[in-house]
Chains A and B, each alone.
Chain A
Amino acid sequence: MQVREQLYSGDAESVALLVQQALDAGLSPAEVLDNGLIAGMTKVGEDFRDDILFIPEVLRIARAMHAGMGILRPLLVSSGVKPVGKFMIGTVKGDMHDIGKNLVGMVMEGAGFEVIDLGMDTPAVKFVEAVDRHKPELLGLSALLTSTMMEMREVIEALENAGLRNSVKVMVGGAPVTEKYAQGIGADGYAGNAPLAADKAKELLGLP
């Protein structure tokens, strides 16, 4: 599908145009999403993992995907197409970085998830309130500093104290975070970059 090819090239205008053309030609919003955007993002994830694409290319592709989703999203809602899951993400308290978080959010949306972004500098109590209100299947915690990543343990403990820990799978990521650290604080998963986060998310939910 041309949407897939143009998505890979990062051309936002072309993607939006082609998405509309595909819909006008009679394809359903779900077909355009699955065979165009999601299929395209799968290839993007693989090539990012294999050092063929890098951050600037992925950002441009995410911008193009966002343009396509802007057309599809209302149509998907009105036609009753459900996301594969609900993914909530935020950068922990004291940390002001969001590029990594935003990339993960965009890749997850491209993988078919509904994404709720709590933003930067998010205290544990806000994570707990949001999990209680939105009931996501997955919660992603992002930190870019060795000092702020300690907050991830606080969030997990706050979820336990609120009786919500078992209601959500917690994933962690960010430059200083490691698999060992994730296991040590009781997280369910760790991912080193956005495409790996999407793979881990699907694995945690038992999705193909």
Chain B
Amino acid sequence: MNSQPDFGRVRTALLLEGEPDRVPLAEVNVDNSIKAAVLGRPVADLRSEVEFWVAAGYDYVPIHVGLGAFLEGLYEDRALGRFTTSKQQRLDVEEDRVWAEEKTGVITSQEEFEAFQWPSVDDMELSVLEDVGGYLPPGAKVIGVLVSAIFTQVWRLMGFETFCFSLADKPELVESMFEKVGMIQYQVLKAMTRSRAVGAVWITDDIAYTEGMMISPRELRHYLFPWFERMGQAVREADLPLIYHSDGRLYPVLDDLIACGFNAIHPIEPKAMDIEDLKETVGHKLCLIGNIDLSYTLTRGTPQEVEEEVKLRLKTIAPGGGYCLGSSNSIPDYVRVENYSAMREAVLRHGGYPIDI
């Protein structure tokens, strides 16, 4: 794949500054097995990580930082080999897949909240952003990804059911959790904005599923969006674009997200939201990212079907700018490599502006 990285095209798309030279490719994550298949060797260090993203046609390298990345070891300890059901049955987990805690997490009371060893921003090893920056070719940037930013961290630490019950039973604990997690992640984000390697910030925090919002918009406006507003302001002051990732159906809170300062939304799952409708209604306020189907096209379809879907999105969504093309979530290990390649190649072949399909 022959494409020189140019983060300028990504910035143009994110900030709705018209049509760049071509539609940018965008993913927030690609499984290591897919990276290795594309690169022809394992991605084992920062240099090869950069080499993958550039070789694959992207203009940036996403680097995941913050509490989510830091606590993955904690979640793995609880999940791998020691996963128990509510009936206290030990299950043998065959794969190294980490399952989110649905019932009871590590913080279920104010006492456990106070006793938890909360990390500080200094524990987060944010120097990785500059280290990656050292390997970037001209034109490429880092996108700092604040993964599973606030809402997700709160419920993962509490366990999803415990969190849900606590919204009514222990609101003070929920307040404490959002305050603590929000402040840590805000400080991480501020540090990201000071990095010269960073060209944009990507906040991932799932608040919805296929049919609707996980909790009420009223509660999101109380607990979560004030933190997004602060983050939006910090990113804006640093003159950086801000991307928001959430799965699912976000219609009830799109105006809130715009007000928080997000420039773009991702990944626009086809079964949850209609991207053509979004282009028409909010396309002048939000850059749209993603939408190539994972339920069938990228996972079970053919390269020809992938190309057809890419061409359709380029034709209907890309004109005018404000669109970055990618999958409808990320690239997991069960995406066919030939389909992933077909998607990227189709963008390079057909995604030059003005779109002529």
Question: Which A residues are within 8 Å of any B CB, using their own CB?
Answer: 10, 51, 54-57, 59-60, 63, 94, 96-99, 119-121, 146-147, 175-176, 178, 181, 192-193
Pick from A54, A56, A99, A120: contact of B212, CB under 8 Å? A54
Q: Is B164 an interface residue (CB 8 A)?
A: yes
- Chain B nearest CB: distance from A74 CB in Å? 21
Residue of B nearest to A149 (CB): B295
Residue of B nearest to A100 (CB): B209
Residue of B nearest to A195 (CB): B211
Complex alpha-carbon distance, A60 and B216, angstroms: 14
What 10 A-B pairs are tightest by C-beta distance, nearest first? A56-B164, A96-B99, A59-B164, A192-B211, A147-B334, A193-B211, A54-B216, A56-B167, A99-B102, A54-B215
Residue of A nearest to B213 (CB): A54
Within 8 A of A (CB), among B261-291: 271
Q: Assess whether A146 is in contact with B161, with CB atoms less than 8 Å apart.
A: no
Q: Given that A60-B168, A99-B102 are contacting pairs, would A178 and B215 also be in contact in the complex, using a CB cutoff of 8 Å?
A: no
Given contacts A51-B252, A60-B168, A175-B209, 14 further A-B contacts (CB under 8 A): A10-B168, A51-B212, A54-B215, A56-B164, A59-B164, A96-B83, A98-B86, A99-B160, A119-B87, A119-B89, A121-B91, A147-B332, A178-B295, A192-B211
- Chain A nearest CB: distance from B11 CB in Å? 32
Question: Which B residues are within 8 Å of any A CB, using their own CB?
Answer: 83, 85-87, 89, 91, 93-95, 99, 102, 160-161, 163-165, 167-168, 209-216, 219, 252, 271, 294-295, 299, 332, 334
Q: Assess whether B210 is in contact with A97, with CB atoms less than 8 Å apart.
A: no
Cβ–Cβ < 8 Å partners of A59 in chain B? 161, 164-165
Cβ–Cβ < 8 Å partners of B211 in chain A? 192-193
Complex alpha-carbon distance, A193 and B161, angstroms: 17
Q: Assess whether B91 is in contact with A96, with CB atoms less than 8 Å apart.
A: yes
Q: Assess whether A99 is in contact with B161, with CB atoms less than 8 Å apart.
A: yes
- Chain A nearest CB: distance from B5 CB in Å? 30
Q: Assess whether A146 is in contact with B91, with CB atoms less than 8 Å apart.
A: no
Cβ–Cβ < 8 Å partners of A176 in chain B? 295
Complex alpha-carbon distance, A51 and B250, angstroms: 12
Residue of B nearest to A53 (CB): B216
Cβ–Cβ < 8 Å partners of A63 in chain B? 165
Complex alpha-carbon distance, A121 and B87, angstroms: 14
Residue of A nearest to B164 (CB): A56
Residue of B nearest to A60 (CB): B168
Complex alpha-carbon distance, A146 and B301, angstroms: 13
Q: Given that A60-B164, A147-B334 are contacting pairs, would A181 and B91 also be in contact in the complex, using a CB cutoff of 8 Å?
A: no
Q: Assess whether B213 is in contact with A51, with CB atoms less than 8 Å apart.
A: yes
